Amino acid sequence: MVNMWQKLMVFWLIGLGLMACKKSAEPTLSELRGQVLSQAEWQGDLAKVNTEVQPAVVLTLAGIDPEMLNFDLPLTNIRVNFKNDGTWSGKDANGESLEGTWALLEDGQKIKISGFQIELLREELPEDLLAILPEDFDLSLPDTYEIMELNDQKFTIQTATSRQLPIGLPTGGSINLTISPKVEIFLKK
Is 14 inside any structural domain?
A: no
The pTM of the full predicted model, rounded to 2 decimals, is 0.77
Is 172 inside any structural domain?
A: yes
Question: Between these two residues, 139 and 145, which has the higher pLDDT value?
Answer: 145
- What is the spatial distance between Cα 21 and Cα 29, in angstroms, rounded to a whole number? 24
Q: What is the pLDDT of residues 57-95, one digit of tens each?
A: 878 877 788 888 888 988 888 999 999 999 999 998 888
CB–CB of 180/52 below 8 Å? yes
Is 26 inside any structural domain?
A: no
User: Looking at residue 80, what is its pLDDT?
Assistant: 95
Is 91 inside any structural domain?
A: no
Q: Give the CA count within 13 Å in the CB-facing half-sphere of 68.
A: 15
Domain of residue 118, residue span: 44-75+106-188
DSSP state of 47: E
As for how many domains the chain has, the answer is 1
- What is the spatial distance between Cα 93 and Cα 121, in angstroms, rounded to a whole number? 11
Is 94 inside any structural domain?
A: no
Is 19 inside any structural domain?
A: no
Q: What would the DSSP string read from start to end of 31-96?
A: HHHHHHHTSS-EEEEEEEEEEEEESTHHHHHHT--GGGGEEEEE-TT-EEEE-TTSEEEEE-TTS-
Is 29 inside any structural domain?
A: no
User: Looking at residue 19, what is its pLDDT?
Assistant: 57
User: Looking at residue 23, what is its pLDDT?
Assistant: 57
User: Looking at residue 156, what is its pLDDT?
Assistant: 95
pLDDT greater than 70 at residue 10 = no
Q: What is the pLDDT of residues 104-120, one digit of tens each?
A: 999 999 999 998 766 66
Give the pLDDT mean for 112-140. 77
Q: What percent of the chain has pLDDT over 70?
A: 83
Is 93 inside any structural domain?
A: no
Give the pLDDT mean for 151-178. 85
Give one word for 74, left, alpha or beta, with left for phi > 0 and alpha for psi -120 to 50: beta
Give the pLDDT mean for 7-35. 70
Q: Name the least confident of 22-31, 108-117, 142-151.
A: 22-31
Q: Name the least confident of 13-17, 108-112, 118-122, 147-151.
A: 13-17
